[in-house]
Amino acid sequence: MKDYLVVSPEVKKAIEENKPVVALESTIISHGMPYPKNVETALKVEQIVRENGAIPATIAIIKGKLTVGITPEEIDYLGKKGLEVTKASRRDIPVLVARGEDGATTVAATMIIAHMAGIKLFATGGIGGVHRGAETTMDISADLEELSNTNVSVICAGAKSILDLGLTLEYLETKGVPVIGYQTDELPAFYTKESGFKVNYKMDSPLEIAKALKAKEELRLKGAMLITNPIPDEYSMDKELINGVIEKAVEEANSLGVKGKDITPFLLDKIQKITEGKSLEANIQLVYNNAKLGAQIAKELSNL
């Protein structure tokens, strides 16, 4: 493993000393938004984690190395390369490592590498899920399978609202993944606070969530807990408006034959253009919000 996995000295020391650490993904840097906004956002997310008492560990594949705690220079490198960097999920990891190439890690890949390093918590924007029309396309994100298998719990603003949220919850139910709502009993829908679907449990404090995570760990139950954190009120978008925008973007994607791992960045880009940047700002703010909660939970967990 030591030939493939590189953990920064700061992150390694924190893990060894049972200090709070929060993993962060790198797809948002290369595929989430344009340069230099992507780099500014990634660095701000790390700052928020630090301000709330935890160590950030942004994860990426750099020249074939599974790198945990990439440097600001490496964040800038990924931001400048942008879409040239492979969007790396589970299936891509061994190929990129063997070829010595770069990869921006998705939720699934970030979970895998975080687990290798011994990190228990990961904060992101939104998870992938069951895509609309999946009953005929079978387009289901690898994120969901990873949540059922890998012991790294995820803080997010729910599943991206471009997905079929009902089927995504059904899939998680089938796989035994507990879905927690932070101060809400309703699944957040990424851009909006409400989706119309209920979570399994509402929890009102980072300590309550940390206690559940600790119990899960001590019971040796496989897989993650999914902790959903609604977007702050001031950045939440109108539900009817955003749903209409998403429908329009999905129709265009279908007409152009956009599929697989290209569909999410295509839809997010279209939604950003149609909303004149409002969806991008909402996306950034919900990531900040999740980083804060992730750090708070990690801090409580390290004290138990």
| Chain centroid offset of residue 113 CA | 13
Instruction: Give me 227's structure tokens.
Output: 């902790």
Catalytic residue among 46, 87, 146, 160: 160
- Here the tokens at position 173 are 């139910």
Rounded (5°) CA angle 93-295-197: 80
Active-site residue flag, 160: yes
Q: Annotated catalytic residue: which of 25, 46, 74, 146?
A: 25
94, containing H or E segment: helix 93-99
- Which residues face 103 on adjacent strands? 61, 86
Look at residues 140, 194, 202 and name the one whose alpha carbon lies nearest to residue 172: 140
Q: How far apart are CA 131 and CA 172, in angstroms?
A: 14
Active site residue 25: yes
Cβ-proximal residues to 137 (8 Å cutoff; 6+ apart), any chain = 131, 259
Q: Parallel, antiparallel, or unpaired for β 65-68 and 55-62?
A: antiparallel
Active-site positions read 25, 160
